[in-house]
A and B are shown apart, each in its own frame.
Chain A
Amino acid sequence: MKKAIVINNLWSKYDENWVLKNIYLKIYRGESVGLVGPTGSGKTTLAKHILGLLKPIKGRVIVDGIDVSKTSASKMARIVGYLFQNPSHQIFSETVYDEIAFGLKNFGIKNIDERVRSMAETMGLIDKLEESPFNLSIGERERVAIASILVLDPKILILDEPTIGQDYKNYILLKFLLNRLRERGKTIILISHDMELILEHCDRIIALKNGEILYDGDIKIFFNNAFLLKNLNLDLPPLLKFSKKYGLNKFVRNIDELIKVLKNEARPIC
């Protein structure tokens, strides 16, 4: 497997405090990684280093073979798509069309119209293309923000708390998009406190605490380690709580899998 991200001995500082300490990491192409940890543990800082918005004080960050410290963040944006928490932080264009096309124009990418319309179709925004993004609901604006990143077709995608403030429709759409991106072999880094989303879409967990990696490994082992979860101020997702309470042997990651297991393991009550 080819490496998408290699981080060697990364140290990052804010004011006098070390935000990241001695980070060694390898993320392979096509991997879906959940980046978890308490607030202030350094998750967003690590993600910003991957995009190149922050430059390391010590150590190296190599993304898709490029040394991030020697490349501008705006150039790295062609490889790494970073979805920020608040859509209001990026919307400025007169129409939804222009907003989605913004990144494509910055990189001088051809067939803009085709790509914008295709992305708008996927995101359910096709009938909103000529509208002002400022007149849209928060949920719709969030979809515009996601579309404007995905339209660039980045190899690596970082989603920073993508479920905050989302209604059910957007939440389902996000899950659908994540599945599609995984099928297309994209490398995904999901920063979230939503353990249900992490459970369903990530194969590997990187847990940070006080700027250090506390755990890096398989998701199943992670959710079976109660001490680690407690240490990270995390709780089991409801699905795992249910399967644990009723003694199900199989590790389930979504409702469909749970139903399947229940059907297989169910015993008739006499």
Chain B
Amino acid sequence: MKLGQYVEKNSWFHRLDGRSKIIFLISLTLMSFILDNIMINLLILLIIVFLSFSAKIGKKFLKSLGKFAGLIVFAGFVWILFYRESLFQANKCGVELFRIGPIIVDSTGLYYGVKMPLRIIIMISIPSLFFMTTTIREFIISLSKMGIPYIVSFTFGLAAQLIFSLSNEYEKIKNAQIARGLEVDSGNLFKRIRNHIPILIPFTVRSIELADEINLAISLKNFNPSIRNRKFYRDKKMSFIDYLLISLSFLILLLSIIVRLGVFHELPKIYF
């Protein structure tokens, strides 16, 4: 199972209209950025995990998210050790905890080492939850109904679809090269990167071929994106829960902005 690949289940979250899901998940993402607090981000992550379980895809969601564990841990270490070199680093340095040669590990580094990976997890898991519970067709229809020109919606949908097609192609190419004795995951980092060249070249070729095939298939079906008042064969109607979720989304956004502007007391900080 690939992260973000649609999982067919009969759950309340699957049945929701795509528009309400998009608005709700965007509001959660914006909340994470506006409030920029570890506790809030943890809460958002808990909400996402809860939603995935209520959508009956919890295990698959966590399992596929687990594939990014290495990347997330790596990001954490990079921030802890090198946050001082960051382009966007504006805060003052924290209390020095210990040194590893010329590298200083301090409390601010530790804070970033938790905050940034958490943000990465949120940025990965929100779109994943959406695509694991929404078909590409529904996604295109939802964007289109939200007033986005059909050609743009269609392109977004096609791009999302292509990610999975290309992921399958990558797997096939990797297997074909392993079948000729290529050791993909052995040796040091540089050797591993070099070992990926026999995969990346056919992958690029196949990507171009695939794009060409799609182009041909679309042209053969006389695709015309400029048709106005497009009708959809499977049209969903917004339910009460959809309206409720959209209202909740706007409420979340409003509260986030109010809190950010400092109308209420500042959120408690969990660090120094």
Residues of chain A having any CB pair with chain B under 8 Å = 15, 48, 51, 53, 72-75, 77-78, 80-82, 84, 86, 88-92, 102-103, 106-107, 134, 148-149, 152
Contact = CB atoms under 8 A, between A and B. Distances in A.
B211 to A, nearest CB: 14
Interface in B159-216: 169, 172-173, 175-184, 186, 197-199, 201-202, 205-206, 209
B90 interface: no
26 contacts: A53-B175, A53-B179, A73-B175, A73-B179, A74-B178, A74-B181, A74-B184, A75-B181, A77-B179, A77-B180, A78-B181, A84-B175, A84-B176, A84-B179, A89-B172, A90-B173, A90-B180, A90-B198, A90-B202, A102-B198, A103-B181, A106-B180, A106-B182, A107-B181, A149-B179, A149-B180
A81 B197 contact: no
A152 B169 CA distance: 25
Q: Is the interface of B mostly helix, strand, loop or mixed?
A: helix
Given A72-B183, A86-B172, A88-B209, A77 B178 contact: yes
B179 A92 contact: no
Contacts of A88: 202, 205-206, 209
B97 interface: no
B1 interface: yes
Contacts of A51: 179
Give the 7 A-B residue pairs with the shortest CB-CB distance, closest first. A106-B181, A92-B201, A103-B180, A90-B176, A82-B179, A89-B176, A77-B181
A84 B201 CA distance: 17
A152 B179 CA distance: 11
A159 to B, nearest CB: 12
Among A51, A73, A89, chain B packs the most CB atoms within 10 A around the CB of A89
Contacts of B197: 92
A15 B180 CA distance: 27
A146 to B, nearest CB: 12
Given A72-B186, A102-B198, A106-B180, 8 more contacts: A73-B179, A78-B181, A80-B179, A81-B179, A88-B209, A89-B206, A106-B182, A107-B181
Given A88-B202, A89-B172, A90-B173, A148 B181 contact: no
A244 B32 CA distance: 73
Contacts of A103: 180-181
B183 to A, nearest CB: 5
Contacts of A15: 1, 60
Nearest to A91: B202
A80 B60 CA distance: 33
Contacts of A102: 180, 182, 198
Among B169, B180, B186, B201, chain A packs the most CB atoms within 10 A around the CB of B180
